[in-house]
Structure 1
């Protein structure tokens, strides 16, 4: 959902053990840094794929700004800015 100061994306992650629900804020500066031609929704989807390669859905914060990921995973910036 677009907002004046960026986007809020609701994400549901499902597997055999159930579903987790997350809310991700994507600020304009996040799009400038990591978008690489992707929509905000695609960026969030790719970011969750990145997270799920590294931790379980239960370990992912329920609500967070997209930029928080790089605090926990310093390689996030390099992965998200890598040319396609």
Structure 2
């Protein structure tokens, strides 16, 4: 199972390192309005990013995940993402 490390690098931007069979690093931006649509005020954005990587890793390897993207891009590849993400939040 992969380990996910999320570090906020600036407001609404995160560096994500995934330790799986290969170690990968990803730069993720999150628009506050988009995060609010997904989680409201129940979780912080770093938790949303971590949960989003869990969602992605259930569908593809960490080496297949884009190296730099805005969180809203996930929905283009996986239309079920907005409805499924709450299952991945702790």
**Pair in the same fold by TM > 0.5:** yes
Structure 1 gap segments, 5+ residues each? none
Using the alignment, how far apart are the partners of 1:57 and 1:18 within structure 2? Answer: 8
Aligned length: 79
Structure 2 gap segments, 5+ residues each? 1-7
Using the alignment, how far apart are the partners of 1:77 and 1:18 within structure 2? Answer: 27
CA RMSD of aligned residues (A): 1.6
Aligned to 1:28: 32
Residue 71 of structure 1, aligned match among 66, 73, 76: 76
Using the alignment, how far apart are the partners of 2:59 and 2:27 within structure 1? Answer: 19
Using the alignment, how far apart are the partners of 1:60 and 1:67 within structure 2? Answer: 14
Q: Which runs of 4+ in 1 moved over 2 A?
A: none
TM-superposed CA distance for 1:35, in Å, is 2.0
The TM-score normalised by the length of structure 1 is 0.85
The TM-score normalised by the length of structure 2 is 0.79
